[in-house]
Structure 1
Amino acid sequence: MRHGAAVRTSTSSQPATSSDARHRALAPRRKLREFEADGLVAHRPRRVPSRVEYGLTALGRSLSPVVEQLKAWGEYYRSSARESRASALPS
């Protein structure tokens, strides 16, 4: 791909530039760096070049009960929504 070449995305009918694609590709890394700065994750460089492994810190692991509650709520909501949709369908 040439630098600055247009890339078509599925979310828009407008062409995106390669810098847009690069920005989207780097966004997860930026978020991980923010989590690292906040003390939620720690990175461990690996021997393989350009590879980094992230893991939860004690602070990050302390969020586990909250995440589990959100997961339970999502599962309940999903089944409740299915039941509601099923009962709303005409017979």
Structure 2
Amino acid sequence: MRAEDDDEAAVLAVPGGADDAALGSTAVRKRFEQDLAALRAADEFVLVLPAGAAAHVEAGIASGLGKRCWAVGPVDRLRALHIVQ
């Protein structure tokens, strides 16, 4: 079982790797729990732009957890959600 989890974790580590992963798999669940624990432990959240959808979801979770959030990097156009406090 451990080797299977390691193989699944390796797939998740590459860009786009989660696209074909089973969301109910042990490796995906473990990765989610690790990411959520890191968000809970953080004092603040920095979103480095440009960023993908998953990073924006993490920013939303961080904001929902009451973390102060920052977006840094080039912005092609401002959107109303960029001023959410």
TM-score over 0.5 (shorter chain): no
TM-score, normalised via structure 2 length: 0.30
TM-score in terms of structure 1 length: 0.28
- Larger gyration radius, structure 1 or structure 2: 1
Q: Which has the higher contact order (CA 8 A, sep 6+)?
A: 2
